[in-house]
Every structure is written in structure tokens, then in C-alpha cells.
Amino acid sequence: MNSIIVDFLEKALVSDYVSSVLVPSGGPDNTFPWTLISDVSALAMAEPVPPVMYVQGAKALASFTQSMTEGKLLAVMRPCEARAAVELSKLEQIDLDNIILLTMDCPGAVPLKEYRRDAGIQPDISIPETIRPLCRQCTEFTSAGDLCLAMHGGLREVLPLTPAGQELLDSLGMKAEPDTSAWIEWASSLKAEREAVSTENRKSLKKAYSGLEGLVEVFSGCISCRSCRTVCPICYCRLCFIDMKDRRCPASAHLENSRSSGAARVMSGTLLFHIGRMAHMSLSCVSCGMCEDACPSDIPVGRLVSMVSAGTTAVFNYSAGSDPEDPLPLNTFRLEELHEYED
Amino acid sequence: MEDFEPRIIGFLCNWCSYAGADLAGTSRLKMPPNLVPIKVMCSSRVDPEMVTDAFLRGADGVLIAGCHPGDCHYDKGNYYARRRFAVLKKVVESLGLEADRLRLSWISASEGARFQQVVEEFTEKIRKMGPNPTGKETLL
Amino acid sequence: MNTKTSVLVSESSIGDTLRDLLGKLLENGEIDSVFALRETRQKGRYCYSLITDPTLIREALPFHPVMPVQGARALSEMTITEPFGRPVAALLRPCEIRAFVENVKQSQGSLENIFIISCTCPGVIPASKLLGEDREDVLANHGGNIRNACRTCTGFIPGPQADMTVLLASDEPHDGTVIYLNTDRAVEIAGKLDSLSRETGKPAAELTSGISEAREKSLKDLMRDIPAPADGLQSLVSLFAACIGCRGCREACPLCSCVLCDYETARTLHSPELVRSEAKRKGSVRVPAGTLQFQLGRLMHISPSCTACGQCSDVCPVDIPVSDIFIRAANLVQESLDYAPGRDTDDTPPMATYLEKELLDITD
Ligand code: SF4
Ligand code: SF4
Ligand code: SF4
Ligand code: SF4
Ligand code: SF4
Ligand code: FES
């Protein structure tokens, strides 16, 4: 898969249709930093689909594309990263105008901490144990962005998904019109399988950690490092509500909490942070699992946000990252709607 | 729980609901003393995290009240507020917390009686639900 | 250095003695609340708590060998806007006290009404080691499992801000409990606890000289082994290659108390034009840019007051030895500035002052 993509990137760079490429490359100590490449020779280091996710691709992309790019940029990322990029463009953190997103049939990613212990592990789509819990239940594992490298159903082919993707293929003189029926078959059956897994997982997650007791339990190990937020592509605010000065909980407030129950946890605001965060961003969560990978306390924080996201997106029939034209639910409204929430 | 007196936080929009509350007061309508009003300039000023904060600090109920749809002083604020409220409710519900402790009501400046009725009704509902367990949780 | 010899002794274990003592102080109103560790509803996970109910003191875990968050950070959260109005007894490790003293100097907290009970510190266990099922074994082999930072910590006897010091780490194992009374307030409080007897003991430093020597040696090794910027850019790049930019190290560090870190502000962002032109010039650049810039910047900002607690390494999800690097740099920086974080609340922070004639060796 890597070599097909690298060949494609090379063609694109040489053609001058694309002026730079964003792709993970092999770095020291089994790392795969995102690299912005202008020179074809630098593609030698490219590892387009590394076994792990160190930095969410959309986060990397957003770090330098808030304003118009000069010349076209071709970014290779996993489907969840491409979907996050779409969300970020709606949030005005990425200007997608001159950016072409190339995704692939995603094999999943190895949990980061496991990979750091044993860099021999490779993600295998058919062995759930090798990939992250959220990857195991991911239903959007292919066909995001402008182009997608299909690797199943007998294909080894970059397929166009949007006019921008088609235009790139045309300019590279890639005209193949393969038979995609077996591939579509593969995708829909895996999707069905994963949907069942995800429903099941969400159910058991909800059962295990439902209600105040459950939430207190699941977040009891949270050390307020905020890494989940910092690495999340959707959480783009420079200063999060939880860190604002007026959120500070002074000694007297802590004491009041403590008096009402006998004792109060300090470094308060753990649940406020997580619930507040979910209220802010769950609509745009792409279930990429980056937050969970980063959590030093092994809290299933990504699975929880993803579970909540299933509930909030259903209200608006919204699907994060699917359609760049579909407005963010909180940035629009209908005059007649949601009457069951008001009186 | 017989002597349980609910504590309800009310985020009231300045232009309609706060004025409605005022009217209820000046008309000397009898009202349960359980609502602690917080004036906001518009229902859309209420960030879900403000509601969450009140909820987690032990407020037994949280009311957001604003102008009726179409009447928002800032034109569309309350339509956005309604969406945000729906999201918050879903979040709270998905996590198995008591979403019924949260309420969104439209009350105009002339509806003193409606204000009284909403507060009374909500207070009774919360009284039946009992105290918010967040108030007694020591590991929050 | 602690030279006090007046001690309280008890035959019960340290945990029981302290819980008993704290419960009594709460009951008789000497203190209003207790700041201590508790276990949460998940085994092996802990949190700091503010306890006001004397019966809940039974849940307190005095000096349990963990540091879920740096105590100074928790105290700073509570006292940055207002001091405690009534006395609180805070159980803190020496590095937590040092960090809080630094917080206070930088207007990030207040020591008012805080009665500090500390210990000669044997070190804490990295949080990640207690997440597994083998946590009982890990706890039992405490000494073999402590943080790297603790192994090299030579400041394991608390400074003058501690009102009481519990003899926890000592060269010879000891039964029962020994508590040093360091301040007048401690003596006054001890007078009200008739269940404990007063004795004269040897100064804590004398009872821990062996530990001190071992720690000095580990610190020397660290100073020798950890790569310094002088070892070349490549070694630093490799060291931080796996950094995922989670900024957990900064969030956990008690000294990084800025509301908005410099490295989140638009000022330190790399402009899109810059990143793209760098890519053109070099053929390829790493994005997001600024991993090393952040780490070096943080070193610049806090190495004068780094208290060597090791919290930053503890939270790093990719096991970068952050604290080794910071402790090494801090040692060099603090030596050249003749500054010891936490030594004295009245010391001026080194970056907020200067001498007309100093540091002549680095200028010409
Ligand atoms: S909340 Fe977690 S899973 Fe969802 S987008 Fe953010 S990092 Fe990904
Ligand atoms: S990464 Fe984990 S420990 Fe850190 S704030 Fe998020 S949930 Fe809490
Ligand atoms: S905790 Fe580790 S991964 Fe996170 S920013 Fe610090 S060094 Fe990087
Ligand atoms: S840099 Fe690391 S070792 Fe130093 S005070 Fe901060 S958290 Fe502790
Ligand atoms: S790195 Fe510097 S600017 Fe950032 S939080 Fe730490 S001290 Fe503040
Ligand atoms: S001003 Fe009343 S809801 Fe907007």
C-alpha cells in the first residue's frame, strides 16, 4: 500500500499539478512525523500509512493551512483524519480550497503505547486485537476525502470521490475505470460487521459507566493533564473554557463542596471538563481515537466521546466530516424544530 | 426527604424572562423561593458548560429561560440556544445522567404568570426527583 | 537543613498515627480541613482530596507512594484567588512543598493557614506502573519501582516550610512512627495531642545519610548520562522524536502555571508562509513545527525553579524521559544562579532580579 501511494505522490509532485505533499515519513526511534514535502527526493522517506498515529493528520494539516495555500497541496491521511480535516474547515481552521485529500482502505492503527513497547506490531484489519478499540468499531474506514486508494475487492487503485479528485487523476492521465463492485461489497459487509460491534460496545460502555457513579468511576484516574483535548483535532481553541480564570475554583468553593459531602476531590472540574468538552465538540468527533492513545491513565475517553457523539449527531442527522457542504449543526437552525426540548 | 428544598439555578435572558420574573414579583404573585436567578443578556449567552457546572456543583435543577422564538432581542439567539440545549440534553442523557433536571422555557416580559407557573411546576418536579446526587459525591 | 530533634513518637503505623492525629485535630477544631490522598473507586488510582468530615479521615492515605497530580498544582488551584480562611493540614512531599513555595513567590498561591505535614521522602511510584493487575507486587517492592526523578532526588528532607516531618525514609528500618516538630505551631499542636509521647531524637539528616549518598551518586550518573544540547542537535531531535505534542508534561508541571502558555499563543505559531517556504528550502519539513521550540522554551522558562518532582515524565504517554532532561538542565542553571527552588519564601525568583557584577564568565 505504501509503495502505491508513494508512486502516486511522486507522479503528482513531478506533474506540477501539485506543489507539495503532506505525508508521514519515517523518523528516528520508530516514529512517523508528518512531513510537508516539496522535493521528490524527500519522498524516499515517506511512510504514507504508518502502523500508528502519533499526531492526528488533521491537526498537522491545520498547523499551517489556516489561510490559502499557494499551489495545490496533496495530503495523504487516514479516513478519520480526512474527516477531521473537513470538520476543521467548517470550523475555519483549515482552508481546504487548494488541498486535495487522499485516503485509503484503512487497516486501523496499533495502540500507541503498545507500539512504543513493541514496534514489531503491525495493524491487521482482520485481527481486531492488533488495532485500537475505536478502530475495531470504526464504520468509516474508507472513502473519505477526494480520492481513496482501494486495496480490497481485487483492487489496487486510486479512486476519485470528488470533482477535485477526478481533476487530479485526469491531469496525471490516470484514466482507469475499474470494476468496483467487489470492493463495494467488501466495504459494505465490513461496515455492517463493524456497526454491530460498535452498537454492542457502546451498549456495554454505557452499561458499565452510566450515571454519576459510573462516570466518577471511569474518570477517577483522570489526572487533568488535558492531553485528550490537546491532541484532539476538533478541540482547536487556544484557551479552553476549563483553563479560563473565571473557572478557577477557590479554596472557599472547595471547602463548601467538601462540607456538603464530607470530602471533595481537588483538581476539581474533572467531570465538568469532560462533559463540557463533549457538549462543545461531540458533534464533530470523528472517532479517531487519538485522545485515547494520548491518555496516560488509560481512560477510554475516545470511546466515551464517540458514544456521546452517536447521540448528539442523531438529533441533527449529522455525520462528522462526511459532507463539506453540510453546515455545523450549531451554526445553523430551523425555525420549526426540536420542540420536544422546549416549552 | 421530606424537608428537601430544591435549589434551582435559572439563567434568565435580560429582555424577556428576567423582565417576566420582575413582573411576577411586582404583581406579588406567590412563588416558591427555590429559584436563584442569574441574568444573562440572551439565552444564547448560556454556554452548555455553565449549565454543566451548576449541575455538577449540586444544583437540583437548571432552567434556561428566554424570549419566545421570533422575539429574541438579538433576532436569532434563542434558535441557537435551543440547538445547544438539545446537544447538552443528549450529552447528559447519553452519559446516563438525569437530563430531566434541565429545562428550557420561553417566557416573555409580559408573562409574569407564566414565569410563576414554570417555576412552580419545575420546583415540584425536582422535589419529586429528590436532591441531585452530585451534591453528595465526594470524588467529583 | 533540618536539625530539629524534638519528636512525637507512637508505636502504631504511620498511616494510623496520622489518621488518628488528623481526626483529632479536625474534631477539636485546630484545623478545618485536611488535604490528603485518597484512593478512588478504581483500584490503583488516587486523587487529592479536601476532607472536612472527621469520619472520612479513615479514607486518607498519608504518604501513599503515588503522586496523581503534583500537590502544589492542586493547592495553587485553590489558593490563587484567595487564601484558606481557616487552617488546613496539608500532607505534602518535599518536592511538592518546594513547588508550592515557588508558586507563592510567583503569586500563584498562598501559604496562609496551611499547616504542612511532610516526610523524609522515599519516593513515589510512576502512575503507569499501578494501572495493571500486578499493582500489589509493585507497591510491595516500593524501593525498586520509584520514579527516576525520585532516585536522583537529593532534596528528600523537607525544607523549613514543613511544620511537621514524618520519618518515612531512613537508613535503618524503624517500627512505629516518629514525627519531627519543626515549628512553634507544630509544638503547640503537639501539646494538645496527649496520646503521643514527646521525645528527643536524632536529626533526620543523621538518620538518612546513607540514602542521601546513594541519591547523590544517582544524580551524578544522570548528569553524566543524559544528553545535553551540547551533544548535538541530532540527539535532542531523537530524544523528542516520539513527542505527540500532547503538552501533558506542561499541564502536569507545577511550575508551568501560565493561563495561556506562550507556545499556544499566536505569537509563537509558525505562520503558514514560513512553514511552506521552509519546505521549499529544505525539500521537506516536520509539521506541526515547534516540538523542540516548545521543549527548549519550557526549559528556559522553568529550569530555574524546576523542583525535580518527575511529574512531567510520569504523564508522558510515549515515555520520553522529560524530567531527566529538565533535572539535568535545572541543576546546571540553578547552580550558576545560586538559586534553590523552595529554599525560602523570601528568596527573589532568579529571573526577577540581577546583580550588577555576576555571570561574568558568560559575557565579554
Ligand atoms: S474526541 Fe477523541 S476520538 Fe473524537 S475526534 Fe477528538 S481525538 Fe478523535
Ligand atoms: S488524557 Fe486522560 S488523564 Fe489526561 S485529561 Fe484526558 S482523560 Fe484525563
Ligand atoms: S508529555 Fe511527552 S508527548 Fe506530551 S508534549 Fe510532553 S514530551 Fe511531548
Ligand atoms: S519540569 Fe518536570 S520535574 Fe521539573 S518541576 Fe516541572 S514537572 Fe517537576
Ligand atoms: S512553557 Fe513557559 S509559557 Fe508555557 S506554561 Fe510553561 S512557563 Fe508558561
Ligand atoms: S434576548 Fe432573550 S433570548 Fe435572546
Per DSSP, C30 falls in state: S
What's the number of domains chain C is made of? 2
Q: Is the pLDDT of residue A188 over 70?
A: yes
Indicate whether C334 and C257 sit together in one domain: yes
Q: Which chains touch A (3 or more CB pairs under 8 A)?
A: B, C
Contact C41 A217 (CB under 8 A): yes
Question: Where a domain ends, among C187, C216, C245?
Answer: C216
pLDDT per position as a tens digit, A52-76: 999 999 999 999 998 876 789 999 9
Contact B138 C40 (CB under 8 A): no
pLDDT per position as a tens digit, A222-248: 999 999 999 999 999 999 999 998 888
> In this structure, which ligand is nearest to the CA of C45?
2
Distance of CA C159 to the CA centre of its chain: 13
User: Rounded distance, CA C39 to CA B21, Å?
Assistant: 46
Q: Number of A to C CB contacts under 8 A, please give it.
A: 225
User: Rounded distance, CA A189 to CA A192, Å?
Assistant: 5
3-state secondary structure C56-122: HHHHECCCCCCCCCCHHHHHHHHHCCCCCCCCEEEECCHHHHHHHHHHHHCCCCCCCCEEEEEECCC
> Is the residue at C44 inside a domain?
yes
pLDDT of residue C228: 65
Ligand 6, atom nearest to B44 Cα: 4
pLDDT of residue A69: 67
pLDDT per position as a tens digit, A270-321: 999 999 999 999 999 999 999 999 999 999 999 999 999 999 999 999 999 9
Amino acid at C140: A
Query: Taking all residues of chain A, what is their mean pLDDT, rounded to a whole number?
Result: 95
Cβ atoms of C139 and C304 closer than 8 Å: no
Indicate whether C316 and C204 sit together in one domain: no
Residue among B53, B56, B89 minimizing CB distance to A341: B89
Q: Is the pLDDT of residue C1 over 50?
A: no
A80 lines ligand 2 (CB under 6 A): no
C103 lines ligand 4 (CB under 6 A): no
Q: Tell whether ipTM is more than 0.90.
A: yes
3-state secondary structure chain B: CCCCCCCEEEEEECCCHHHHHHHHHHCCCCCCCCEEEEEECCHHHCCHHHHHHHHHCCCCEEEEEECCCCCECCECHHHHHHHHHHHHHHHHHHCCCCHHHEEEEECCCCCHHHHHHHHHHHHHHHHHHCCCHHHHCCCC
Residue nearest to atom 5 of ligand 2 (CA): A226
C56 interaction partners in chain B (CB closer than 8 Å): 138
pLDDT per position as a tens digit, A85-119: 999 999 999 999 999 999 999 999 999 999 999 99
Q: Is B104 left (phi over 0), alpha (psi -120 to 50) or beta?
A: beta
B25 band by pLDDT with thresholds 50, 70 and 90 = very high
B2 band by pLDDT with thresholds 50, 70 and 90 = low
Fold of B8-129: Rossmann fold (3.40.50)
Give the rounded percent of residues in chain C with a pLDDT score beyond 70: 98
> Is the residue at C35 inside a domain?
yes
The parent domain of residue C240 ranges over 226-363
User: Rounded distance, CA A99 to CA C164, Å?
Assistant: 63
Please indicate if any CB of chain A lies within 8 Å of the CB of B99.
no
> Is the residue at C221 inside a domain?
no
User: Rounded distance, CA C334 to CA C340, Å?
Assistant: 6
Element (H, E) at C37: strand C33-39
Indicate whether C198 and C294 sit together in one domain: no
pLDDT of residue A245: 87
User: Rounded distance, CA A8 to CA A195, Å?
Assistant: 32
Residues 114-133 of C with CB under 8 A from A: 127-128, 131
- Per DSSP bridges, beta strands B61-66 and C177-181 are unpaired
pLDDT of residue C271: 83
Please indicate if any CB of chain A lies within 8 Å of the CB of B57.
yes
Helix axes A181-209, A301-316, angle to 10 degrees: 110
C127 interaction partners in chain A (CB closer than 8 Å): 223, 296-297
Element (H, E) at C23: helix C14-27
Query: Taking all residues of chain C, what is their mean pLDDT, rounded to a whole number?
Result: 93
User: Rounded distance, CA A4 to CA A150, Å?
Assistant: 11
Region A120-144 average pLDDT:
96
Region C59-72 average pLDDT:
97
Minimum CA–CA partner of A264 in chain B: B138
Query: CB-based burial of residue C183 (10 Å sphere; 0-12 exposed, 13-18 middle, 19+ buried)?
Result: middle
Indicate whether C205 and C247 sit together in one domain: no
Residue nearest to atom 4 of ligand 1 (CA): A285
Element (H, E) at C146: none
Nearest-Cα distance to chain C for B121, in Å, is 36
B139 interaction partners in chain C (CB closer than 8 Å): 38, 40-41, 47, 49
Region A18-29 average pLDDT:
96
Cβ atoms of B81 and B43 closer than 8 Å: yes
In degrees and rounded to multiples of 5, residue C280 shows phi and psi of: -65, -45
Region A189-194 average pLDDT:
97
Minimum CA–CA partner of C39 in chain B: B139
Cβ atoms of A271 and A249 closer than 8 Å: no
Give the rounded percent of residues in chain A with a pLDDT score beyond 90: 92
Write the CB contacts of B15 (distance below 8 Å, at least 6 apart in sequence): B41, B42, B67, B72, B73, B109
Distance of CA B75 to the CA centre of its chain: 21
Indicate whether C267 and C186 sit together in one domain: no
Question: Where a domain ends, among C216, C239, C263?
Answer: C216
pLDDT per position as a tens digit, B36-71: 999 999 999 999 999 999 999 999 999 999 999 999
Q: Is the pLDDT of residue B34 over 70?
A: yes
Residue nearest to atom 1 of ligand 2 (CA): A295
CA-nearest of A237, A238, A231, A142 to A186 is A142
Give the 3-state secondary structure of residue C169.
Answer: coil
C10 band by pLDDT with thresholds 50, 70 and 90 = very high
> In this structure, which ligand is nearest to the CA of A219?
2
Q: What is the DSSP string of C270-334?
A: PPHHHHHHHHHHHSEEEES--HHHHHHHHHHHHTTT-----HHHHH-TT---HHHHHHHHHHHHH
Indicate whether C210 and C232 sit together in one domain: no
pLDDT per position as a tens digit, C212-224: 999 999 999 999 9
pLDDT of residue A49: 97
Q: Which chains touch B (3 or more CB pairs under 8 A)?
A: A, C
C71 band by pLDDT with thresholds 50, 70 and 90 = very high
Ligand 5, atom nearest to C253 Cα: 6
Give the rounded percent of residues in chain A with a pLDDT score beyond 70: 100
User: Rounded distance, CA A305 to CA A307, Å?
Assistant: 5
Q: Is the pLDDT of residue B78 over 60?
A: yes
Indicate whether C258 and C144 sit together in one domain: no
Contact C85 A251 (CB under 8 A): yes
A155 band by pLDDT with thresholds 50, 70 and 90 = very high
pLDDT of residue C218: 96
Give the 3-state secondary structure of residue A160.
Answer: strand
B105 interaction partners in chain A (CB closer than 8 Å): 342-343
Q: Is the pLDDT of residue A138 over 90?
A: yes
C230 band by pLDDT with thresholds 50, 70 and 90 = low
Q: Is the pLDDT of residue B27 over 60?
A: yes
Contact A308 B95 (CB under 8 A): yes
Q: Which three cell numbers stand for residue A77?
A: 491521511
Question: Where a domain ends, among C216, C251, C286?
Answer: C216
Question: Domain ranges in chain B?
Answer: 8-129
In degrees and rounded to multiples of 5, residue C194 shows phi and psi of: -75, -15
Residue nearest to atom 4 of ligand 2 (CA): A225
Indicate whether C177 and C257 sit together in one domain: no
User: Rounded distance, CA B131 to CA A229, Å?
Assistant: 32
CA-nearest of C363, C336, C331, C337 to C351 is C337
Cβ atoms of A206 and B91 closer than 8 Å: no
Residues 199-228 of A with CB under 8 A from B: 206, 209-212, 214-216, 220
Contact C272 A266 (CB under 8 A): no
pLDDT of residue C361: 84
C98 band by pLDDT with thresholds 50, 70 and 90 = very high
Give the rounded percent of residues in chain C with a pLDDT score beyond 90: 81
Contact A257 B82 (CB under 8 A): no
Contact B87 A283 (CB under 8 A): yes
Q: Number of B to C CB contacts under 8 A, please give it.
A: 7
Cβ atoms of C234 and C227 closer than 8 Å: no
Contact C41 B138 (CB under 8 A): no
Indicate whether C210 and C279 sit together in one domain: no
- Looking up cell 499566536 gives C266
Contact B137 A206 (CB under 8 A): no
> Is the residue at C287 inside a domain?
yes
User: Rounded distance, CA C83 to CA C106, Å?
Assistant: 15
Residue nearest to atom 7 of ligand 1 (CA): A232
CA C101 to ligand 1 centroid distance, Å: 37
Region C27-42 average pLDDT:
95
User: Rounded distance, CA C166 to CA C2, Å?
Assistant: 12
Helix axes C71-79, C94-105, angle to 10 degrees: 30
